[in-house]
């Protein structure tokens, strides 16, 4: 499937379930991943350009560091395979990304989960307990330490200070110049071995679902558990279906697409099949999706065109293929047009050259970029490179640049180092941090320091 060059195109994965022995001789899923690579490479060779990879949880099998090391290596190779930047990956945790042994060993942690599950106001009960940041970090986020070590390189780490992440500062831009803002929601703060769809459901919390309306902003969310797995199902469902245009989920290992209109707002919800479902599951069928987004229409009658190309494992040919024709849905958007920009006067020759090099969308007439892949986000590249260094190098660089703070001492390493990197930005030390990272990185880069002029 190759859409117009003005579409944002994403790879949508869920439930990968990497184990410590993945890639070993007994790993039957290795062939599935290889076929996924070949399927995507064929699409890339045919002209498809990918803006990034969205993963809706269960990256690992049991939240262990060894599992994430294999996952990160595979994601690097996947991005290289489709000519996508390695840092252009966005992830949220699933129940398999929890280290359940941490909860099992602590009656205090188990009790904390049971108390909230037994509450009459689950969202409020969770939110009150997250106010005490130091205690909440240990109770609700320590079982996610392996996930955080992995996800920090993608700026998708979570903590009591930030229980969800958001790509807002440098958002994706749709073809009419408007913004696509992505939010990653954490549904596993209460997850343990007792998870079920009855008394032991999970809680998302209102603080994660408030997505403010903003002119020219389209929302897309990632979450592992769909609302029917949550105690605060009704509140979450209402919030998402009246604010978030595109909602991606995992967990159920079942492909499902629904479009809903509520109070004048139309949203699309896509539940992904699993890339690595358990082979003993009824109807075992590895899946993944390609998701394309673009805006069509005039500034006063805008619509988001969402195209879903569902890819499924064909057991007869032992490869991925299209599951029927791509599904196309249109979601009405609020009126918006880009602010007027006063262009400097140009010579007739430069005007002619610029017009020849640009192209426009007939429906809107706005000038757009000529490439669909995301331009390098210097800060995101820096974070990725920093967190792929050995931990001793990370610690040394933080010390050399004086980025540590006593207020960080109660945090786990990924959260502490993420705050130190953010502190470098606040102190205008990104140029120094970039140079220090590049001097230490085992993989040489030819990218010049993008912060040296600031």
State the residue for tokens 């390189």: 153
| Cα separation, 250 vs 270, whole angstroms | 9
pLDDT per residue as tens digits for the range 294-325: 999 999 999 999 999 999 999 999 999 999 99
Q: Which residues of 206-240 are buried (b: 16+ CB within 10 A; e: fewer)?
A: eebbebeeeebbbbbbbbbbbbebbbbbebbbebb
Q: How many domains does the chain have?
A: 2
Same domain, 53 and 144: yes
Same domain, 122 and 257: yes
pLDDT of residue 412: 85
Flag whether 62 is in a domain: yes
Flag whether 338 is in a domain: no
To 10 degrees, the CA torsion angle through 146, 149, 151, 154? Answer: -170
Same domain, 274 and 396: no
| Cα separation, 220 vs 222, whole angstroms | 7
Same domain, 388 and 327: no
Flag whether 454 is in a domain: no
Domain boundary (332, 367, 399) is at: 332
Three-state DSSP at 137 gives helix
| Cα separation, 285 vs 251, whole angstroms | 14
Flag whether 354 is in a domain: no
How many alpha carbons fall within 13 Å on the CB side of residue 306?
25
| Cα separation, 203 vs 199, whole angstroms | 12
Same domain, 141 and 252: yes
Same domain, 269 and 179: yes
| Cα separation, 290 vs 288, whole angstroms | 7
Same domain, 259 and 396: no
Domain boundary (305, 332, 359) is at: 332
Describe the strand order of the beta sheet including 165-173 as a list of residue ranges: 165-173, 179-184, 217-222, 246-249, 265-271, 256-262
Flag whether 446 is in a domain: no
Sign of CA dihedral 161, 166, 168, 171: positive
State the residue for tokens 């490439």: 371
Same domain, 259 and 313: yes
State the residue for tokens 């106001």: 121
Same domain, 326 and 432: no
Q: What is the mean pLDDT of each run of 10 residues along the chain (454 residues)?
A: 73 96 87 96 94 97 96 97 96 97 95 95 94 92 96 96 92 96 98 94 95 96 97 96 98 95 96 91 92 96 97 95 96 93 56 40 35 69 96 96 89 90 95 96 90 75
Tokens representing 70 are 């294999």
State the residue for tokens 């140009």: 346
Beta bridge partners of 301: 298
The domain that holds 128 is classified in CATH as 3.60.21.10
Range of the domain at 397: 378-440
Same domain, 313 and 385: no
Pairing of strands 301-314, 319-322: antiparallel
Flag whether 362 is in a domain: no
Same domain, 165 and 72: yes
Full-model pTM: 0.90
Instruction: Tell me how far CA of residue 156 lies from CA of 153, 165, 185, 383, in angstroms.
Output: 7, 6, 10, 11
Q: What is the mean pLDDT of the chain?
A: 90
DSSP secondary structure string, 260-320? EEETTEEEEEEEPPPSS--TTSTT---EEEEEEEEEEEETTEEEEEEEEEEEEEETTTTEE
Same domain, 386 and 327: no
Flag whether 370 is in a domain: no
Residues whose CB is less than 8 angstroms from the CB of residue 420 and which lie 6 or more positions away in sequence, other chains included = 398, 403, 404, 405, 408
Domain boundary (307, 332, 357) is at: 332
pLDDT per residue as tens digits for the range 139-157: 999 999 999 999 999 999 9
| Closest alpha carbon to 90 in 172, 30, 203 | 172
How many alpha carbons fall within 13 Å on the CB side of residue 426?
8
Flag whether 2 is in a domain: no
């Amino acid at each position: 499937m190759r859409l117009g060059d003005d579409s944002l195109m994403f790879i949508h994965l869920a439930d990968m379930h990497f184990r410590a022995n993945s890639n070993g001789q007994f790993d039957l899923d290795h062939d599935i991943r290889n076929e996924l690579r070949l399927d995507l490479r064929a699409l890339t060779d045919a002209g498809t350009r990918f803006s990034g990879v969205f993963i809706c949880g269960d990256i690992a099998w049991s939240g262990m560091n060894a599992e994430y090391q294999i996952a990160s290596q595979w994601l690097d190779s996947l991005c290289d395979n489709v000519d996508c930047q390695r840092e252009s990956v966005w992830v949220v945790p699933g129940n398999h990304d929890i280290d359940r042994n941490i909860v099992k060993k602590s009656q205090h942690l188990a009790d904390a989960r049971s108390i909230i599950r037994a509450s009459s106001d689950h969202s409020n009960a969770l939110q009150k307990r997250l106010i005490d940041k130091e205690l909440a970090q240990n109770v609700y986020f320590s079982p996610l330490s392996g996930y955080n070590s992995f996800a920090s390189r993608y700026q998708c780490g979570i903590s009591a200070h930030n229980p969800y992440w958001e790509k807002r500062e440098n958002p994706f831009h749709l073809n009419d110049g408007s913004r696509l803002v992505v939010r990653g929601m954490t549904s596993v703060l209460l997850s343990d071995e007792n998870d079920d769809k009855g008394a032991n459901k999970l809680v998302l919390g209102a603080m994660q679902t408030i997505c403010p309306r903003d002119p020219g902003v389209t929302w897309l969310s990632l979450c592992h558990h769909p609302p029917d797995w949550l105690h605060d199902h009704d509140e979450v469902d209402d919030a998402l279906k009246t604010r978030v245009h595109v909602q991606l989920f995992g967990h159920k290992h079942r492909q499902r697409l629904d479009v809903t209109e509520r109070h004048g707002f139309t949203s699309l919800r896509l539940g992904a099949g699993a890339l690595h479902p358990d082979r003993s599951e009824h109807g075992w069928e590895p899946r993944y999706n390609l998701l394309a987004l673009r805006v069509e229409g005039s500034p006063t009658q805008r619509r988001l065109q969402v195209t879903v190309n569902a890819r499924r494992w064909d057991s007869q040919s032992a490869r991925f293929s299209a599951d029927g024709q791509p599904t196309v849905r249109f979601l009405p958007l609020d009126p918006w047009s880009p602010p007027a920009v006063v262009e400097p006067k140009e010579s007739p020759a430069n005007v002619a050259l610029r017009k020849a090099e640009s192209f426009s969308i007939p429906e809107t007439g706005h000038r757009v970029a000529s490439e669909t892949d995301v331009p390098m986000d210097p800060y995101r590249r820096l974070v990725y490179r920093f967190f792929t260094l050995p931990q001793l190098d990370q610690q040394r660089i933080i010390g050399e640049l004086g980025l540590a703070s006593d207020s960080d001492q109660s945090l786990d390493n990924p959260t502490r180092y993420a705050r130190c990197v953010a502190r470098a930005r606040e102190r205008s030390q990104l140029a120094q941090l970039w140079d220090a990272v590049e001097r230490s990185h085992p993989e040489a880069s030819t990218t010049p320091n993008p912060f040296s002029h600031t």
